[in-house]
Amino acid sequence: MVTILCTVPNTPPSNAVVLRFRPMSAQGVLDRAVAEADRSEGKHLHAVSVWADDAKPGETREQLINRLLTASQMQAAKNPYYWQCSTAEELIRRGFTFDKDGDDDEPDVHYVVVLGDSPTIEDAERFVDAFTKETFTQEAR
């Protein structure tokens, strides 16, 4: 018997839409990244959670965002009408890297964006500036 293991890459495709929820301020992002690094479990990265994927064949951007919102269940429930979007390419261009939490139950479309080894408020601002505010469209509701 042959077992084939499929692994999810640590970086989404460069054309992936990247969706995130609060915190929206640079200070809030930095605080969240520091808290993530200080967790007793995990990889101890200064990172913030995002949801990312590229569109499937025939899938519109709105349908992709709706799929990411559905996958994010808890985050969307906390903030059901407000999120921010960017692209993986834009975040990589700004010098950020992606990773996976590595939790057994981590969804394929969940990633963390690493702000750096000892991120500053300027790093957090550079991250926040990559995103634009979006709200539900009629199709995504």
Q: Residue 13 domain-assigned?
A: no
Number of H helices, E strands in the chain: 5, 6
CA angle 82, 55, 28 (to 5 degrees): 30
Domain that holds residue 41: 19-134
pLDDT in tens, 80-135: 556 789 999 999 999 999 999 877 788 899 999 999 999 999 999 999 999 988 76
Q: Residue 129 domain-assigned?
A: yes
Residues 91, 113 contacting (CB under 8 angstroms): yes
Q: Which pair of tokens denotes residue 87?
A: 């692209």
Q: Residue 107 domain-assigned?
A: yes
Q: Residue 139 domain-assigned?
A: no
How many domains, the chain? Answer: 1
Q: Residue 11 domain-assigned?
A: no
pLDDT in tens, 51-84: 999 999 999 998 998 899 888 875 555 555 567 8
Q: Residue 3 domain-assigned?
A: no
- The Cα–Cα gap between 55 and 51 comes to 13
Whether the model pTM is above 0.85: no
Q: Residue 1 domain-assigned?
A: no
